[in-house]
Structure formats: structure tokens, C-alpha cells
């Protein structure tokens, strides 16, 4: 019996890797233009890290983590998200002491959820975190940065921004009582999941996807009416910056996010173009988290975007530039006994034309079979090296995508000719 991949854990095949690289590179470029630096930290951490940050009563910690005991008897978990590990790494290396940090990371996350379109058990995020900054200006910077990214990716027409404020933990405790009071009166009309959450994590009922529950929630007291003056001012200033920058947003009082560590600003970028799994990017402010994980108090704000959902969206909207799928510029044919000359020619060219992607034909075969491969590779130019060309230090140049007669060129002149052709 063949061994298969795990459910909800997918291979990225070569035909799809170009679009992933395009997305990752575009994001990395935008982030560097905002002066964010990359940080990398392990995929495996102590389970306790996630319990203390994400929260014991959250879906993630309660039922979604891949947790096991290692050979030393330590409780470890595959990371379900990146913020906890990022904060752990920054604190451990003293990066949050009297300084600010603008950071990003990318990589796999693991959650034992029910796999479906846009929802996997191993999925990938690019996360961004800013530390040491209290004000709404940095919240706004993150939102402007993402808006800029959507524009660069040409998906800005189908995504909308939702924001809310969660206030302080005291505000939320007060609100929680009011909310539970209200929901108790409607207990019998709530679904089973929500009834359970009424005891464990009532705020999560607010973002229930069940329309019957949503109708009840519509009449519930709103958290934003319970936040303190500081949080209110922070929120108003954030809205002011977004208005000034002409970023359209919707205030969604039901937006509470699924992790415990958020305070003040929370937000999600959502789309209608992907069906049920419509959140492509989500985050918020977490001013208490660093201290909660044993560091000196340090404000933080960040977000994570789901790569798989973004790739689905790019595919759906057909906005990936044509050049992305094209990975070969030049295909070098080696016809006859010319392996020595072909190897030398290909390597010289790669040195002289470092921007061109050259595929050397290996394995022999007729001219006809090789030229077929050249065409299939997507190359624009085929170089033909036969025994006669090798003997005279020339090469045949055949243009595969345009009307242009084949020519014979002295090898010494080839690099100039190709550099000219591909830059024009």
C-alpha cells in the first residue's frame, strides 16, 4: 500500500510554485518598502506558550493544536499561529527593551480543523508584528500597508476592511456580563455550540456563522459601547487616519476574533469571492501579551494573512501577470556529439547573462524531439548547437515566439545579442 499525505496537508507542486513565489516576493517587497524586517523562529514550541497566549478557552487550544510529548517528556505543539512564537523569540533576545520593532515572518501553521476549501490542517501565513508603539498611527500603518499590498496584487476591488475595538480586558469583563445576561434570555434559541460557549467563551458567539444565532446577536449590547475613554479615543483617531488616507472600512461590532490576547483595535480583510472562508487577513492590537508571556510590558499590534486563500483569490480573479508562469527564457539544444561544447557554452552564457534563465537539453535525441521540448518549456529563444556549429564556434538562434528567420551567430557575440533581445 502506498503511503499518502495526511488529510488537510497539501503538497505544493512545481506547476503552482511560481504563483506562490510571486505572492511571497510581492509581499516581501511591499514590507521592505515599509521598513519591516524578517524574523524566523521554530515551528515547534512548548505547548504552554500557546496556552498562555492564544488562551485556554479558545477553539485553537481546546481542540485544534497538534500536541505531543517528545522523548524527554516535554509537552510540545506545532505552532497554530505566529504571534506567540514571535513574542517569545523577541523577549528571549531582548528585542523589545526600550526599542521598537517592525517584523514579519512566513511559514506553515498547524490546526486540526475540518478540511474544506480555504481551510487546511497545514496552512501558510505571512505574519506582521509591530512592537513598542502605543498609538493608532501604527495600527493605521499596518492597514495602509495591507491596502497597498492588495492594490499591488490587483485584488483591491474585491476585499473590504472591517474594524472594531475590543477595549481593555476590564471593559471586556464588564461587557461579557451584559452579553451573557442578554444571551441567557435567548438561551433556548441558540444552537448547541453557542450554548456551550455561553459558559466557556461567550464573546465567540458574536461571530457565529449560524443565521439564527446572528439574528439574536444583532439585538445584543455592543462591546464598542462599553470601551473606556482611552480605547475610544484610540479608535476614533485610527478612523481619522483611515479617512484621511481614503481607506474605506466598515465598523463591525460583531468582530471579536478568536484569540484571547487582543485589546483595542481588531480588524479583518474579507472577500465575497471565496465562498465561506472569506477572511484573507486578520489581526489586531495585543498590548498585554508580552507581559503575559513574561516580558517587560510592551505594546504590540499585528496581523496574519493566509497564503492559500490569497492564492485562491489570485487564481479566481486571474490577476497573476503572464510572466509569472514563465520560467525559461532560453532552451539550448545539443544535437549530436557535442556535450563538451554544450556544457561550456551554457555555463559561459549563464555567467554573461545572469538575468536569463537557461535550460540545457540533457539526454540527447533528435533535433525534432529537442525542438519540441524547447517549445514546451515556454522558452522564447532556442539555441541550436550541432556538430557543425560546435566545430566552428557558432550557434543557431531560433526565435520561438515571433516571426524571425533563424540565424547563425558566432558564440563570442551571443551574450550581447541575447542581452539586447531580452531587454528590448
Percent composition of the chain: helix, strand, coil (DSSP 3-state, to 5): 45, 20, 35
Alpha-carbon span 350 to 110, nearest angstrom: 40
Using an 8 Å Cβ cutoff, are 266 and 164 in contact? yes
Helix 411-423 with 339-352: angle, nearest 10 deg: 40
With binding defined as CB under 6 A, does residue 119 bind ligand ATP? Answer: yes
Does residue 279 bind ligand ATP (CB under 6 A)? Answer: yes
Q: Which is nearer to ligand ATP, 123 or 331 (CB)?
A: 123
Among 51, 79, 111, 264, binds ligand ATP (CB under 6 A): 111
With beta carbons less than 8 A apart as the criterion, state whether 104 and 131 touch: no
**Residue 221 DSSP label:** P
Residues 54-83, interacting with ligand ATP (CB under 6 A): 81
Burial of 147 (0-12, 13-18, 19+ CB in 10 A): buried
Q: Which residues pair with 306 in a beta bridge?
A: 125
Site for ligand ATP in 289-318 (CB under 6 A): 304-306, 308-309
Our CB check for ligand ATP shows the closer of 158 and 409 to be 158
Compute the distance between CA of residue 46 and CA of residue 395 in angstroms, rounded to an integer: 60
Applying CB under 6 A, among 282, 293, 311, 397 the residue interacting with ligand ATP is 282
Please, which residue, 309 or 361, has the CB nearer to ligand ATP?
Answer: 309
Question: Whole-number minimum distance, CB 310 to ligand ATP, in Å?
Answer: 8
Report the residue from 277, 292, 327, 419 that binds ligand ATP according to the rule CB under 6 A. Answer: 277
Strand partners, 283: 267, 303
Give min distance, CB of 281 to ligand ATP, in A.
6
Q: Does the footprint of ligand ATP cover residue 26 (CB under 6 A)?
A: no
CB of 135 to ligand ATP, least distance (A): 23
Q: Of 135-143, 272-280, 291-299, 353-361, which part binds ligand ATP (CB under 6 A)?
A: 272-280
Task: Kindly list the distances between the CA atom of residue 234 and the CA atoms of 54, 164, 283, in Å, as whole numbers in the listed order.
Answer: 24, 11, 16
Binders in 324-363 for ligand ATP, by CB under 6 A = none
Smaller CB separation from ligand ATP, 5 or 405: 5
| Distance spanning both ends of the chain, measured CA to CA | 54
Give the burial class of 160: count Cβ atoms within 10 A of its Cβ; 0-12 exposed, 13-18 middle, 19 or more buried: middle
**Phi, psi (deg, nearest 5) at residue 398:** -120, 125
Closer by beta carbon to ligand ATP, 267 or else 331: 267
Handedness of CA 115, 121, 123, 128 (dihedral sign): positive
Cell of 162: 472591517
* Helices of type H across 353-405: 367-377, 387-391
Q: Would you say 273 or 279 has its CB closer to ligand ATP?
A: 279
Residue 107 interacts with ligand ATP (CB under 6 A): yes or no? no
* Cβ-based neighbours of 270, under 8 Å, separated by 6 or more: 159, 160, 162, 278, 279, 280
Instruction: Return the residue of 28, 49, 66, 113 that touches ligand ATP, per CB under 6 A.
Output: 113
Choice from 36, 123, 235, 262 touching ligand ATP (CB under 6 A): 123
Number of residues that bind ligand ATP (CB under 6 A): 19
Residue 316 or 359 having the CB closest to ligand ATP: 316
C-alpha cell at 221: 449590547
Nearer to ligand ATP, 110 or 331 (CB): 110
The verdict on 193 binding ligand ATP (CB under 6 A) reads no
Q: Which of 253, 258, 336, 378 binds ligand ATP (CB under 6 A)?
A: 258
Q: Which of 47, 91, 101, 120 binds ligand ATP (CB under 6 A)?
A: 120
Binding site for ligand ATP (CB under 6 A): 81, 111, 113, 118-120, 123, 125, 258, 277, 279-282, 304-306, 308-309
Amino acid at each position: 500500500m502506498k503511503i499518502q499525505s495526511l488529510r488537510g496537508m497539501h503538497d505544493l507542486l512545481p506547476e503552482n510554485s511560481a504563483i506562490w513565489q510571486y505572492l511571497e516576493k510581492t509581499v516581501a517587497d511591499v514590507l521592505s518598502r515599509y521598513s519591516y524586517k524578517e524574523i524566523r523562529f521554530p515551528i515547534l514550541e512548548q505547548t504552554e506558550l500557546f496556552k498562555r497566549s492564544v488562551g485556554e478557552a479558545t477553539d485553537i487550544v481546546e481542540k485544534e493544536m497538534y500536541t505531543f510529548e517528545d522523548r524527554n517528556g516535554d509537552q510540545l505543539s506545532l505552532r497554530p499561529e505566529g504571534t506567540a512564537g514571535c513574542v517569545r523569540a523577541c523577549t528571549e533576545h531582548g528585542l523589545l527593551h526600550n526599542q521598537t520593532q517592525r517584523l514579519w515572518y512566513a511559514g506553515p501553521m498547524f490546526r486540526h480543523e475540518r478540511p474544506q476549501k480555504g481551510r487546511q490542517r497545514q496552512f501558510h501565513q505571512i505574519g506582521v508584528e509591530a512592537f513598542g508603539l502605543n498609538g493608532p498611527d501604527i495600527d493605521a500603518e499596518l492597514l495602509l500597508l495591507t491596502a497597498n499590498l492588495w492594490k499591488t496584487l490587483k485584488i483591491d476591488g474585491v476585499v473590504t476592511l472591517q474594524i472594531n475595538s475590543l477595549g481593555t480586558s476590564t471593559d471586556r469583563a464588564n461587557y461579557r456580563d451584559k452579553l451573557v445576561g442578554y444571551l441567557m434570555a435567548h438561551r433556548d434559541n441558540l444552537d448547541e455550540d453557542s450554548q456551550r460557549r455561553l459558559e466557556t467563551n461567550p464573546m465567540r458567539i458574536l461571530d457565529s456563522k449560524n443565521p439564527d444565532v446572528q439574528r439574536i446577536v444583532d439585538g445584543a449590547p455592543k462591546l464598542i459601547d462599553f470601551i473606556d475613554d482611552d480605547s475610544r479615543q484610540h479608535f476614533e483617531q485610527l478612523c481619522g487616519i483611515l479617512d484621511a488616507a481614503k481607506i474605506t472600512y466598515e465598523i463591525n461590532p460583531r468582530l471579536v476574533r478568536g484569540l484571547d490576547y487582543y485589546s483595542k483595535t481588531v480588524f479583518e480583510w474579507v472577500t465575497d469571492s471565496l465562498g465561506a472562508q472569506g477572511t484573507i487577513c486578520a489581526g489586531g492590537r495585543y498590548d498585554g501579551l508580552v507581559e503575559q508571556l513574561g516580558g517587560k510590558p510592551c505594546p504590540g499590534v499585528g496581523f496574519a494573512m493566509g497564503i492559500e486563500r490569497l492564492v485562491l483569490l489570485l487564481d479566481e480573479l486571474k490577476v497573476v501577470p503572464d510572466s509569472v508562469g514563465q520560467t525559461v527564457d532560453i532552451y539550448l539544444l545539443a544535437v549530436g556529439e557535442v556535450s563538451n561544447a554544450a556544457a561550456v557554452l551554457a555555463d559561459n552564457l549563464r555567467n554573461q547573462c545572469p538575468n536569463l534563465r537557461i535550460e540545457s537539453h540533457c539526454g540527447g535525441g533528435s533535433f525534432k524531439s529537442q525542438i519540441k521540448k524547447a517549445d514546451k518549456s515556454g522558452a522564447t529563444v532556442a539555441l541550436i548547437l550541432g556538430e557543425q556549429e560546435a566545430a566552428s564556434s557558432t550557434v543557431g538562434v531560433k526565435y520561438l515566439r515571433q516571426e524571425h528567420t533563424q540565424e547563425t551567430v558566432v558564440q563570442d557575440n551571443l551574450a550581447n545579442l541575447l542581452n539586447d533581445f531580452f531587454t528590448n
